[in-house]
């Protein structure tokens, strides 16, 4: 919870102002029963109408101050909470974007989503409640107790005797609440995971008639959440009934003792009336405190989950270069091995090199390690052993900004967002419209874009669902080459293109980006056969390396793939 105060510190002035207003209103509220007692005991019997009107008016003024004070303070609290929550969500979202790929894998995307949404909401609610009730309730509790002690110590002691029991009950139950609500949030992660997967794969689900299956899968996740929430709710739900029972028991005890005192002349009826009003205020304060304790358990569990993300250390630190690389080589892998889980290697002793402007083709079965190789090149992960170099320097010696500026990338499962085609290609960069059109022409996308009535202003739906697979891929390729990158990575990015368009694309790329080093990962031999170097990967290891003609003669696996796809012949 300590990190919360770092967000509240810039709002100190606003918070102090709200607290001052809240204190003023609460103190005015505390005066009302005292004034009523004074009127009943000392003013009415004098039959002084002026005095009665004066003190009655004073009560009305106190009531007005109390009402306005609470309204103003609550509005200020709402504004403060909104500012706090906005900054917290902003920083948490920014942190998730800068997490390393390994950290993202560890947290999981659904868990990060629920931390940004439901967890921040729980913390926001508690901060708001603390400003609204966290000031008022203690003042009513302590102030009411102090005034009742002045009015009648014996009655006050009877009431105070119930307070330790209440605190013990609330504290004991609240300690159990934090781990319970942590499990609730974990169950929320599971439900978000199912919803996210189903939303992304809804077309496949319908196409394979698996709607009922996915309904059952969601129901299982929902039932797990229900079970966790029920357990937490049942245990934390004990707080309010037990507090009510203890407070009512205290009221009964006070009334019984007060009746005895009045009958023996040790107290007056007017004192008891005022006393009961204070006891009501104190009861309300205690109920508010119990609600805050329940909310605190949710907040503490959520705050811990948020802080785990915010305090996560970037494993990918910038390191000094060892100076052993060859500057003449643009890309070089030197005996690189890597494992995602630290057990079996996903890449095994990978070595190859490319000069600037050369092209690399990577081909292999699904799961062979092709995309993993790209992730190491872009330093999404660090190699366990060996060195990855760009321009002769260890990739670990580049800053993130330097490294990312080198690449233009199209991944297998890349995304388009809801905006125009032009903005999807520009992607927030300072790229002129003329350069966007030029990139689209290279990517063989200009013709179909121009066929739309709005042209490049044509709106793309979320995920590009209103475009065909081939159109989406060409827009994504346009985005990758629009920034004229040093290294262009195409990860199975032409799978939806016909052979002619694919060939035209590769020809246009070689002419438009002669100095760029192009890395193409593909399932089709036709997409990589003209590359300067082709790697054939199987189970994370290179089983073939060379040009197309060499591999046809020396690598039986490559020849088998080629023959199965094109019958041994290729058409340009």
Strands (E), 510-562: 517-522, 533-538, 541-546
Q: 81, 124 in Cβ contact below 8 A?
A: yes
Look at residues 16, 13, 30, 91 and name the one whose alpha carbon lies nearest to residue 66: 30
Sign of CA dihedral 367, 368, 370, 376: positive
Residue 568 pLDDT > 50? no
- In 3D space, the residue among 226, 164, 166 whose CA is nearest the CA of residue 191 turns out to be 226
Residue 148: phi and psi, rounded to 5, are -65, -30
State the distance between the two ends of the chain, measured CA to CA, in whole angstroms.
63
Over residues 352-359, the mean pLDDT reads: 92
Q: How far apart are CA 456 and CA 450, in angstroms?
A: 7
Residue (of 8, 136, 23, 17) closest to 82 by Cα position:
8
pLDDT higher than 60, residue 260:
yes
pLDDT at 341: 80
For residue 411, the SS3 value is: coil
Pick from 538, 541, 530, 540: nearest CA to 558: 538
How far is the C-alpha of 458 from the C-alpha of 177, rounded, in Å?
52
pLDDT at 571 over 60: no
Average pLDDT over residues 115-119: 89
Residue of higher predicted confidence among 543 and 241: 543
Which CATH number is correct for 2-310, 1.10.287.3510, 1.20.1560.10, 1.20.1250.20, 3.40.190.10? 1.20.1560.10
Is the pLDDT reported for residue 566 higher than 70? no
φ/ψ (deg, to 5) at 431: -125, 125
**How far is residue 196 from each of residues 114, 238, 261, 359, 461, measured CA to CA in Å?**
11, 35, 67, 37, 17
For residue 337, pLDDT over 90 is answered with yes
Least reliable range by pLDDT among 367-376, 461-470, 541-550:
461-470
CA-closest candidate to residue 61, choices 8, 25, 88, 90 = 25
- Residue 321 tokens, joined: 């270069």
CA distances from 416 to 37, 526, 541 (A): 70, 27, 33
CATH superfamily for 329-566 is P-loop containing nucleotide triphosphate hydrolases (3.40.50.300)
Query: For residue 163, which of 286, 276, 277, 257 has the smallest C-alpha distance?
Result: 286
Whether 145 shows a pLDDT value over 90: the answer reads no
**pLDDT value at 389 more than 80:** yes
Handedness of CA 463, 428, 422, 497 (dihedral sign): negative
Q: Is 158 in contact with 267 (CB distance < 8 Å)?
A: no
497: which DSSP letter?
Answer: S
Q: Phi and psi of 332, rounded to 5°?
A: -145, 130
Task: Give the predicted TM-score (pTM) of the model.
Answer: 0.72
- Residue 564 tokens read as 């199965």
Tell me the per-residue pLDDT of 431-470, one tens digit each, with 9 for 90 and over.
999 999 999 999 999 999 999 999 999 999 887 888 888 8
User: Hey, what are 489's tokens?
Assistant: 């990575």
Given a cut of 70, whether residue 410 has pLDDT beyond it is yes
Is 60 exceeded by the pLDDT of residue 572? no
Given pLDDT bands bounded at 50, 70 and 90, which one contains residue 329?
Answer: very high
- Contact present, 131 and 18 (Cβ < 8 Å): yes
- Strands 459-460, 487-491: pairing kind: unpaired
Comparing CA positions, the residue from 186, 419, 192 lying closest to residue 308 is 186
| 567 pLDDT higher than 70 | no
What does the chain come to in residues?
572
Q: How many other CB atoms sit within 10 Å of the CB of residue 524?
A: 19
Handedness of CA 420, 422, 425, 426 (dihedral sign): negative
**Radius of gyration of the chain measured on its C-alpha atoms:** 35
Task: Kindly write down the DSSP assignment for every residue of 369-385, as one continuous string.
Answer: SHHHHHHHHTTSS--SE
pLDDT of residue 570: 43
Question: Within a 10 A sphere around the Cβ of 528, how many other Cβ atoms?
Answer: 25
Same fold, 2-310 and 329-566: no
Q: Are 464 and 473 in contact (CB under 8 A)?
A: no
Return d(Cα 382, Cα 396) in angstroms, integer: 8
Tell me what pLDDT residue 569 has.
Answer: 45
The answer to whether residue 69 scores a pLDDT higher than 60 is: yes
- Mean pLDDT score of the chain, rounded to an integer? 85
* Residue 123 main-chain phi, psi, to 5 deg: -65, -40
pLDDT tens profile 211-235: 888 888 888 888 888 888 888 888 7
Q: What residue spans define the domains of the chain?
A: 2-310, 329-566
CA–CA separation, 204 vs 293, rounded Å? 46
Hey, what are 49's tokens? 């109408």
**Of residues 223, 152, 160, the one with CA closest to residue 187:** 223
């Amino acid at each position: 919870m300590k990190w919360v105060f770092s967000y509240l510190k810039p709002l100190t002035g606003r918070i102090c102002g709200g607290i001052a207003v809240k204190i003023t209103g609460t103190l005015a509220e505390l005066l009302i029963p005292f004034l009523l007692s004074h009127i009943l005991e000392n003013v009415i019997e004098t039959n002084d109408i002026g005095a009665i009107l004066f003190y009655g008016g004073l009560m009305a003024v106190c009531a007005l101050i109390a009402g306005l004070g609470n309204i103003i303070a609550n509005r200020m609290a709402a504004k403060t909470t909104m500012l706090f929550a906005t900054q917290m969500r902003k920083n948490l979202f920014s942190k998730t974007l800068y997490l390393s790929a390994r950290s993202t894998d560890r947290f999981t995307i659904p868990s990060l989503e629920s931390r940004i949404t439901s967890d921040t909401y729980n913390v926001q609610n508690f901060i708001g409640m603390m400003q609204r009730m966290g000031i008022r309730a203690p003042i009513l509790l302590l102030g009411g107790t102090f005034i009742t002690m002045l009015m009648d110590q014996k009655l006050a002691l009877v009431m105070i005797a119930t307070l330790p029991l209440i605190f013990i009950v609330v504290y004991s139950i609240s300690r159990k609440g934090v781990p319970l609500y942590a499990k609730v949030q974990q169950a929320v992660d599971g439900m978000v995971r199912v919803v996210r997967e189903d939303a992304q794969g809804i077309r496949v689900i319908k196409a394979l008639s698996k709607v009922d299956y996915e309904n059952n899968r969601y129901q299982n996740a929902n039932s797990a959440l229900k079970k966790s929430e029920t357990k937490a709710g049942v245990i934390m739900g004990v707080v309010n009934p037990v507090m009510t029972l203890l407070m009512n028991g205290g009221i009964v005890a006070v009334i019984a003792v007060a009746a005895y005192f009045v009958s023996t002349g040790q107290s007056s009826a007017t004192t008891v009336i005022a006393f009961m009003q204070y006891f009501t205020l104190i009861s309300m304060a205690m109920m508010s405190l119990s609600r805050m304790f329940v909310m605190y358990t949710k907040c503490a569990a959520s705050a811990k989950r948020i802080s785990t993300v915010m305090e996560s250390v970037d494993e990918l630190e910038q390191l000094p270069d060892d100076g052993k690389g060859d500057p003449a080589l643009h890309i070089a892998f030197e005996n690189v091995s890597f494992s995602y889980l630290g057990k079996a290697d996903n890449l095994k002793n990978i070595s190859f090199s490319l000069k600037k402007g050369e092209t690399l083709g990577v081909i292999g079965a699904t799961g062979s390690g092709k995309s993993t190789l790209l992730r190491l090149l872009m330093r999404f992960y660090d190699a366990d052993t060996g060195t990855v170099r760009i321009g002769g320097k260890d990739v670990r010696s580049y800053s993130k900004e330097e490294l990312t500026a080198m690449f233009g990338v199209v991944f297998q499962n890349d995304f388009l967002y809801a905006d125009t085609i032009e903005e999807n290609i520009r992607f927030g960069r300072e790229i002129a419209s003329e350069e966007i059109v030029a990139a689209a022409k290279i990517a063989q996308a200009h013709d179909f874009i121009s066929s739309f009535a709005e042209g490049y202003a044509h709106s793309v739906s979320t995920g590009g669902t209103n475009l065909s697979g081939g159109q989406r891929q060409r827009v994504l390729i346009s985005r990758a080459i629009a920034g004229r990158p040093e290294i262009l990575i195409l990860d199975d990015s032409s799978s939806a293109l016909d052979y002619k368009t694919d060939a035209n694309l590769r020809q246009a790329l070689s002419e438009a980006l002669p100095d760029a080093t192009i890395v193409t990962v593909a399932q089709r031999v036709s997409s990589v056969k003209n590359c300067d170097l082709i790697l054939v990967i199987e189970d994370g290891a290179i089983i073939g390396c060379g040009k197309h003609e060499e591999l046809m003669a020396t690598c039986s696996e490559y020849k088998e793939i080629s023959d199965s796809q094109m019958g041994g012949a290729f058409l340009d």
